[in-house]
Amino acid sequence: MPIDFYKYQGTGNDFIMIDNRLDTFSKNDTKLIALMCDRKFGIGADGLILLETTEEYDFKMVYYNADGAEGSFCGNGARCITGFARFLNIIDSEANFIAADGPHNSTINGEEVSLEMGDVDSITESENYSFLNTGSPHHVEIVEGLENYKVFERGREIRNTVYGKAGSNINFVEQLEDNNFAVRTYERGVEDETMSCGTGVTAVAIAMAHLGKAGGNEVGIITPGGKLRVTFNKQEGKFTNIHLIGPAKQVFKGKWG
């Protein structure tokens, strides 16, 4: 049976979107999900997202990594599914939905989506990096010469040797000026560098504010796929009212099978 799908991207972080409100998609078929995400033999994507119904919220977000395994929260994917929900006429300009890490609110204006993230009250500092969870685990490390940095090699090494089987996303960051930073991310599940990572961008912004390298309550991030903003409130070491803001666009639609 052919599967209707839509392709979305948020600053180059791309996703296959499927309307699964009728529960027709084979959710346990990890090989199918991995094949659909394959860039040579499938549609090609960093992940696959199902939009499902739930009584208490506008919709439910179910996210799968490109390897076919169900993943943790995906920030750019959540911004994209907000756009998808509006396309399906489920929402107008505001959404309240449930994801792997709990409930989220989001707003959409044109192609710009502002996503409310979970609070962060625990940041682990090591000698040369910070670790925190923004819906997914993130290693944040400041480096020099980010443009030519070996993100894939170094990211894969840290992901496996420091964090073991469970793994972590690995973010390398370089300060550009004041509250603006450049970020490149190696994502677990994709097991490669991605053009952008929403939870990673959020983790970087929070870590830089925590370390005193960013002032105020807004941080600008440049990823290989485009620009994002993170706003937040900080009080007594706790970060609340965190929002990830940036574009989310439908690229194309099609049928699988």
Query: What are the residue numbers of the active site?
Result: 74, 197
DSSP string, 217-248: TEEEEEETTEEEEEEEEEETTEEEEEEEEEE-
Q: Please tell me the distance from the alpha carbon of residue 250 to that of residue 241, in angstroms, as a whole number.
A: 27
Burial class (CB in 10 A: 0-12, 13-18, 19+), 144: exposed
Asked if 236 and 242 count as a contact pair (C-beta separation under 8 A), the reply is no
DSSP 3-state assignment of 135? Answer: coil
Q: Which residues contact 246 (CB under 8 A, 6 or more apart)?
A: 10, 11, 76, 79, 112, 113, 198, 226, 227, 228, 229
DSSP conformational letter for 164: T
Q: What is the DSSP string of 55-71?
A: SSSSEEEEEEETTSSB-
H/E stretch holding 159 reads helix 151-161
Alpha-carbon dihedral of residues 240, 246, 252, 253, nearest 10 degrees? Answer: 20
Distance (Å, whole) CA 10 – CA 157: 27
